[in-house]
Chains A and B, each alone.
Chain A
Amino acid sequence: MIRRYWNINLKEMLETGVHFGHATRKWNPKMAPYISAKRKGIHITNLTRTARFLSEACDLVFDAASRKKQFLIVGTKKKAADPVTRAAIRARCHYVNKKWLGGLLTNWSTTEMRLQKFRDLRMEQKTGGINRLPKGDAARLKRELFHLQTYLGGIKYMTGLPDIVIIVDQQEEYMALRECITLGIPTICLIDTNCDPDLTDISIPANDDAIASIRLILNKLVFAICEGRSSYIRNP
C-alpha cells in the first residue's frame, strides 16, 4: 500500500471539534492511549493519532476500492443519517441509515428474500399493478413498500456480503459490529472515548456526536473511495 496525501490537517479537525470526547465518567479505560487531556469534565482525544489512523484508513480504503471491493456504511443516529446517505451515494457505496435489522449480514439468505420482495413490489408499482387491486390491498402493499424502502433502500444494489464496513458510532451500531466480527469482515469504526478500540480492525478516535466531525471523516473516506475507483477505471 502506498501512502498518499489526503489533506488531513489538524487545524481543520480542531475547528470541527473532532477532538472532543464524552464525559469523563463514561470513558472506557482501553481508550487511555488515545486520550491526551481532560478539560471541563470531557476527555480530549489525541489528534496526532487520529490523523495518523485516518490517513492509514484512507490508504486502506483507497487500496480496496482500486481492487473493486464492496463497501457498506452504517450510521443510524438521527444526526448522522443524512450525511451517511449523501456520502454513500456520492461514493457509490451501500449504506444503512435507518435501523440496522438484526441478522442483515449473518442471515443474508433471508435478507435476500426480502430484497427480492422489494424488487417485485417496485416492479408492480412501476407497471401500475397496484392500482388494479382493491383499495385495502393496495394500501397494504404501499405500506410494505415504504417500510422496505426505509430499511433496505441503501442495500438494494448489494449482491453479496460487503468487503469492508464503515461504522459511524460503535455504541449505537453494536449489533452491526458483532455481525461483522462473526463473519470476519474488516471494519472501520469511529471510536469515541466510551467505546472499545479492540473490537474493530481499524479504529479512528474521533467525536461521534458532532455532525461536523462525522462529515469531516466521512468526507476523507469518501474521497479515498472515489479516488480508488477512478484509479481502477484508469488501469484495471
Chain B
Amino acid sequence: MEEEMHTDAKIRAEIGTGCSPRGPGCSLRHFACEQNLLSRPDGSASFLQGDTSVLAGVYGPAEVKVSKEIFNKATLEVILRPKIGLPGVAEKSRERLIRNTCEAVVLGTLHPRTSITVVLQVVSNAGSLLACCLNAACMALVDAGVPMRALFCGVTCALDSDGTLVLDPTSKQEKEARAVLTFALDSVERKLLMSSTKGLYSDSELQQCLAAAQAASQHVFRFYRESLQRRYSKS
C-alpha cells in the first residue's frame, strides 16, 4: 500500500510539448519541460529542446558564507557542469552570462545576505546549449518560488554563409554557420537582457536576428505559460 502512494506521488512531474515541427527557415525545435523532479533542491526543472537537454536545480534563499555575502541583496551563484569532463573556461564564461541574466531578473533585494544557487547539468548537447540552459534556469527559479520581476528565455540564431537565418540550430548547423548569436529576452516587453555572439555578421544582420529571436521568444513564453498552468491545474 505504501508503494501505491509513492507511485502516485511520482506523477507530479509535467511534460509539456512545444511548437511546430522543424521546417526550412525560422522555427524552433520541439521542446518539453518537466518541473519539480528532484527532491533535494528547492526548485528543479528539466528543459528539452530537440535533442539538447539540461537539468537545473535551484537552492535558495539559503545560508551564505560571510565572505560571499552582500549586505543589501542576494548572492546569486550559477554552476554549470558539462556532460563529460571537468568544467573548464567555456563553462565559466557561460556561468557568468547566465548569472548576469538571472541577476537582472531576480528580486535580490528582498533577501539580503542570502544565497541563491542555480546548478545546471548538461544531459545532452545537440546545439543551442546556452539558450537551453537559460530556459531551464528560468523554469527552475519559478519552481523554487524565487521572486522575479519577469520571466526570461534564451533563443539562438545561426547565420550561414549565404546569410539565411536559422533559429535554434543543431550542432551541425552551428559548426557550419559563419555566426552564432544567443539572446536572452525578458517576458514583459521582450527586451534584450543578454547577448552572446560568435562569428562574423553585419549590423543589419544583428538587428534581423534580434527581431527573429523576439518573435520566437513568444512561442517559448506561451509554452512556459501552458506548462505552468498545467502544473497548477493538478492541485
A, B in one complex? no
B interface with A by C-beta (< 8 Å): none
Residue ranges of A at the interface with B (Cβ–Cβ < 8 Å)? none
